[in-house]
Chain A
Amino acid sequence: MRSIWRTLDRELLRNVGAVAAAAGLVGASFGAIAVAAGLAWWLPLVMSVLVFAGGSQFMAVGVVASGGSPVAAVIAGLVLNLRHLPFGMAIGDVLGSGWRRLVGSHLIIDESVAFAMGQRDPERSRAAFWACGISLFFFWNLGVVAGSVAGQAIGNTDALGLDAAFPAALFALVLPSLRDRATRRVALIGAAVAVATTPLLPAGIPVLLALVGLLAAGRAPKPATEPTTEPTTDPTTEPTTDPAADPAADSTTAPATSEESR
């Protein structure tokens, strides 16, 4: 572990720190929102420690809060987390082997992958991955505890508008990946399908049904990947952007950024 901290330079540490602090805030809102949705205060924490994938945690809680079955919630969360498989293949050699691989696999999130892939040499990749993974794990869970304790203290969450905070927070997390035009089209079609079928189908199913939007994905990966993923981390419009300087604790932000930094 000591060699990791020696390899990290100031700039990298500062970037990791910024991302970790942001993750703490997102974690706090997750905790508050989950408790507002009726979860016991400790359940969001257990979930955050064991799942450690913010997007899928928001997803599962959101599906259950809307009256969906836990099965639908788990399926939606798992579909969301399928992307970790190619992530792991991309940075597998960064993890090492043995217990490092077992522990490191749990720390594969959008941000740690993006940080690892953004480095030039393997030594720095390894250091960046572990520094990012460990600090995000710490701050994310710390934020969740703080959020759920605070959320519990609040009585009437609807009067405070927390039900609006949830979709808005989620939107902020997916926004960077919506800069890709094809992704945007597919997502809008899916959202329309989900809203239109909500009055008719059991809760939780409409969100899964949104996946039919993928049929409009088209095939154009060849010409599309280079120019369309570029704007997601456009350095001219966003001075603070590095491959992972996004507040998303493991949402869908990195697929675009990590593709780019590959």
Chain B
Amino acid sequence: MTMVAVLALAAGTYGFRLAGPLLRKRLEIPERVRRLLSMAACVLLVALVATATFTQGHGFAGWSRPAGVLVGAVVAWRRLPFVVVVVAAAGTTACLRLLGVS
């Protein structure tokens, strides 16, 4: 992550944000497009979850990480607080590694 990348992301994001209030009288975004935009955000995040869970570089990440993520996901699904999700996931993986599971 470089400073230039951060600035580019920041500038683009602010542009999108400012464009809404400025263009709202001149532009109508169809409901279908709105729906696709919010879906796109979700698709990207879930894809990142999946790749970060299972892959390391171009290969498989090993079993300890997906196991931890699975525990964290169950915790999240049971609507426990966010901190618990993070600690449960990291703790599971750390314990497995301590036991020698890659």
List the interface of chain A (C-beta within 8 A of B): 22, 25-26, 29, 34, 37, 39, 43, 46-47, 50-53, 55-56, 58-67, 70-71, 73-74, 76-93, 95, 101-102, 104-106, 108, 158-175, 177-178, 182-183, 186-188, 190-195, 198-200, 203, 206-208, 210-211, 213-214, 217, 219, 221, 225, 238, 247, 251-252, 255-256, 259
Contacts and interface: CB of A to CB of B under 8 A. Distances in A.
A160 B92 CA distance: 9
Given A89-B27, A174-B42, 13 more contacts: A60-B5, A70-B1, A73-B9, A78-B9, A83-B40, A83-B41, A101-B22, A166-B52, A169-B89, A192-B50, A207-B44, A217-B39, A252-B41
A69 B73 CA distance: 28
A199 B58 CA distance: 4
B86 A165 contact: yes
A140 B19 CA distance: 24
B32 A210 contact: no
Contact of A164 (B46, B77, B81, B90): B90
Interface of B: 1-10, 12-14, 16-24, 27, 29, 31-59, 61, 64-69, 71-73, 75-77, 79, 81-83, 85-95, 97-98
A165 B44 contact: no
A167 B46 CA distance: 9
Contacts, number: 331
Contacts of B54: 195, 198
> In the complex, which of the residues A43, A90, A187 has the most CB atoms of chain B within 10 Å of its own CB atom?
A187
B38 A255 contact: yes
A175 B66 CA distance: 17
Contacts of B40: 79-80, 82-83, 211, 214
A200 B45 CA distance: 20
A190 to B, nearest CB: 4
Contact of A172 (B12, B51, B57, B76): B76
A203 B88 CA distance: 28
A89 B20 contact: yes
Contact of B4 (A70, A159, A178): A70
A255 B22 CA distance: 20
A85 B95 CA distance: 44
Contacts of A34: 1
Contact of A174 (B46, B57, B87): B46
Contact of A67 (B18, B20, B44, B57): B57
Contacts of A59: 44-45, 48
Contacts of A247: 81-82
A174 B12 contact: no
B15 to A, nearest CB: 9
17 contacts: A47-B9, A63-B48, A64-B5, A76-B44, A78-B12, A78-B13, A83-B38, A88-B24, A164-B64, A168-B75, A169-B89, A190-B43, A193-B47, A199-B55, A203-B58, A255-B38, A255-B41
B69 to A, nearest CB: 5
Given A70-B4, A252-B38, A88 B93 contact: no
